[in-house]
Structures are given as C-alpha cells and as structure tokens.
C-alpha cells in the first residue's frame, strides 16, 4: 500500500491541535465545577474562565492562519514595508505586558528607512510573535532587544534576550508546531508563534535561525536578501 505523507501530516496536525485544545478545555471545566463549591470566588473564577476562552480563541486563530500560509492562500511578500514604525508600534502596545512579565522590551534601530519585503500585516505578525515569545520565556529581570539593521548586504530583524536561554536539545526544535522547551511548557501561548514566523519569513525569501544556550539568552534572527 502506498503511503500518503500529506495525509499523515494532516492526521498528525489534527491530533496535535486536538491535544492542545484539550488542555484549556480541561482547565475551563475544572473552573466551572469549582465555581459552584461552597466558599468559591465566582468573580475570580469567571476571570480565569475568560482567560482560558481567550487562549482557545488565540490557538484557533493561529491554527487557521498557519493553515492559510501552508496552503498558499495568504500572499506574504506583496510589496515592502518600512519596518521601524511597526517595531515601535508593537513595543508601545506591549508596554503593559512587558511590565507585568518583568522583561524590559527595547529597540535598536540603525536604519529608520529600512524596508523589509513583507506586507505591513505580515511584518507586524512577525514582530509581535517574536516580542511576545521573549516576554513569555526570557524570565523576570531579562531584557529583550528588537534589532533592525543592514548586515553584510542583507536586511536583519532580530529579537534577542539575555534571559534563561534554551538547551542544546531544544534549540533546533523551536520552530516546530506546538513544540515547547521545558520552561515554555507552562506558558500561555499557542505553541505556534515561532512556526508562523518561520513560514512568513521563508515565504518572503528570508531565512530564520535561533541562537542561544542555557543562561545565555535566546536570539531569533530573520535575514532578508
């Protein structure tokens, strides 16, 4: 019997999505049940339930978006965008979240006019995913720097932090769908952010790599010709 690798991929992806949705659903069910117990705090439980629903909504949005990218229905590199204003907008929007996480979010922009070969929406998705990844996983007290510059004839956008880093085992797997390193397994993300970044950047002709080590932080580099 001939194997259909695409069918196997779809089955594996469906199983992974189902598994990821079960976790917030199980927490939601537990919260609903505990809210009816004597001495419970309904207002607090309701807020926690809302967080679980938001997480499921984000996961579904990310799954649908990644599916669009993989099937080619989303045009990624139609035109180019001045990157500096997008970086500034994302940092401003994440200021409160950065404070809550205890992770400083900074900018290092060498060229205000630098264009990246992505539509504005796609560039924002890349920048936001990398910034949020650092806020989730760098660890309290760390600093994450979003860098934009020309380098060796190419254009570079990177997110680098000086946080807890990742193990040698985890590093090459960071772009896999739903993969989480040890610390990240307890995070509230969908597990698809870096996979989406990889698909968007490569669809625009760029390359993505992850550099880092335990206690030495993590850098995600997006390089465009």
Assess whether 42 and 102 both reside in one domain. Answer: no
pLDDT of residue 9: 46
- Predicted TM-score (pTM) of the model is 0.69
Rg (CA), the chain: 19
Q: How far apart are CA 214 and CA 225, in angstroms?
A: 30
Residue stretches of the chain with pLDDT short of 50: 1, 5-6, 8-9, 12, 182-187, 189
Residues 117 and 161 in one domain: yes
CATH number at residue 33: 1.10.287
Phi, psi for 34 (deg, rounded to 5): -70, -25
Tens digit of each residue's pLDDT (9 = 90 or more) over 15-64: 555 656 676 777 788 888 888 788 888 888 888 888 778 767 766 766 66
Sheet with strand 104-109: strands edge to edge: 104-109, 143-151, 154-161, 218-224, 207-212
Q: Structural domain of residue 19, as residue ranges? A: 5-70
């Amino acid at each position: 019997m001939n194997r259909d690798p695409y069918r196997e991929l779809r089955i594996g992806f469906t199983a992974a999505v189902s598994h990821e949705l079960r976790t917030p659903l199980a927490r939601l069910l537990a919260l609903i049940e505990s809210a009816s117990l004597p001495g419970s705090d309904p207002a607090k439980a309701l807020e926690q339930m809302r967080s679980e629903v938001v997480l499921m909504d984000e996961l579904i949005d990310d799954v649908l978006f990644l599916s669009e990218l993989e099937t080619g229905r989303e045009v990624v590199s139609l035109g180019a965008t001045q990157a500096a204003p997008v970086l500034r907008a994302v940092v401003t929007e994440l200021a409160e979240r950065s404070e809550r996480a205890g992770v400083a979010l900074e900018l290092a922009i060498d060229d205000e006019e630098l264009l990246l070969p992505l539509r504005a929406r796609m560039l924002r998705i890349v920048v936001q995913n990398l910034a949020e990844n650092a806020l989730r996983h760098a660890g309290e007290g760390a600093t994450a720097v979003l860098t934009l510059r020309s380098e060796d004839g190419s254009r570079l956008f990177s997110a680098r932090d000086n946080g807890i880093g990742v193990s040698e085992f985890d590093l090459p797997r960071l772009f896999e769908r739903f993969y989480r390193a040890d610390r990240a397994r307890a995070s509230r993300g969908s597990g698809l952010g870096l996979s989406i970044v990889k698909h968007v950047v490569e669809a625009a002709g760029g390359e993505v790599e992850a550099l880092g080590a335990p206690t030495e932080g993590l850098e995600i580099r997006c390089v465009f010709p």
